[in-house]
Amino acid sequence: MNTITGKAVVAGVVGAPVRHSLSPVLHNAWIAEAGLDAAYVPFAPPSDGFARLVHGLRGGVIRGLNVTLPFKEEALALADEASPRAAAAAAANLLVFREDGSVFADNTDGLGLLAAFAAQAPGFSPTAAPVVILGAGGAARGAAAAFVEAGAQVRIVNRTLARAEAIADALGRVSAFPLSRAGDAFAGAGAIVNATSAGLADEAGLDLPLEASPQGCVVMDMVYKPLKTPLLVNAEASGRRVVDGLEMLIGQAAPSFEAFFGRPPPANVDVRALALAALEQKS
């Protein structure tokens, strides 16, 4: 355990709820290994209290915050300045508090998504074949923006077609499909990314025609609890490569750490094992 002195740099994560967040586990393990005089702590304001928290922290009281549900859109709206990738995602998962009192919004979720593919599906290229995103909420828009930025053609499949069309209008190089035409979207796809909330909270997952995708299609699920979602189990059973949401979580945390503490996280900490152990304890 590091000694935290009066000079410690403080960062944190804000969400509602935040108690199951794995971010403190990841960041504090990196802080300890790097020997930093720093701490990373959770904040759980009431759902109407996010703006008060952000305004209270202006001026560099703490260095920055990761932002999780349901505050990502509000975080972008409250910031004085935003990175192009946060603007494209229409959401921020990272706020940096500058000493002049201003707040800078960024989004590292897209970096995390691409890092997860690089780690678990080596050789995957986002430009080789269209990428299918399932869903049209905030998570889906962020994923679509990241893949468009990486040069991909994106197909959004959603139960409510109008929401998919709204993302297509906003981002360009994106086409929209209703869920009933998922098979058409899967034809020739290089990847399928689940960004819906279906299957969460013990709801039944989506019934998807995976066989309509090429055998080489990589299947990814942003949900990491369970780590192997029914979608990933089905994809693996049919011989397809899979990418999990925990790797994306770790992939977004690394550039966040660098924004807070001015250096990349140490490479020699098995944060995936620590996160898996924390997930086990919670189940």
- Smallest gap from Cβ 6 to ligand ATR, in A, equals 39
The mark string for 157-176 relative to ligand ATR (x by CB under 6 A, - otherwise) is -xxx--x-------------
Phi-psi region of 15 (alpha: psi -120 to 50; beta: other; left: phi over 0): beta
The mark string for 30-69 relative to ligand ATR (x by CB under 6 A, - otherwise) is ---------------------------------------x
Cis peptide before 226 (omega within 30 of 0): yes
Shorter beta-carbon distance to ligand ATR: residue 125 or 160: 160
- Smallest gap from Cβ 136 to ligand ATR, in A, equals 4
How many whole angstroms separate alpha carbon 262 and alpha carbon 23? 18
145 binds ligand ATR (CB under 6 A): no
Instruction: Check if 72 is active-site.
Output: yes
- Number of neighbours of residue 264 by Cβ within 10 angstroms: 12
In terms of C-beta density within 10 A (0-12 exposed, 13-18 middle, 19 or more buried), how is residue 174 classed?
buried
> 13 and 24 in contact (C-beta within 8 Å)?
yes
217 binds ligand ATR (CB under 6 A): no
Torsion angles phi and psi, residue 177, rounded to 5: -130, 140
Which of 42, 60, 138, 226 binds ligand ATR (CB under 6 A)? It is: 138
- Smallest gap from Cβ 87 to ligand ATR, in A, equals 17
User: Under rule CB under 6 A, which residues in 63-102 are in contact with ligand ATR?
Assistant: 69
> 13 and 21 in contact (C-beta within 8 Å)?
yes
CA angle 214, 219, 221 (to 5 degrees): 160
Which of 108, 196, 213, 229 binds ligand ATR (CB under 6 A)? It is: 196
Which of 102, 153, 175, 197 binds ligand ATR (CB under 6 A)? It is: 197
The footprint of ligand ATR (CB under 6 A) covers: 69, 135-140, 158-160, 163, 196-198, 203, 206
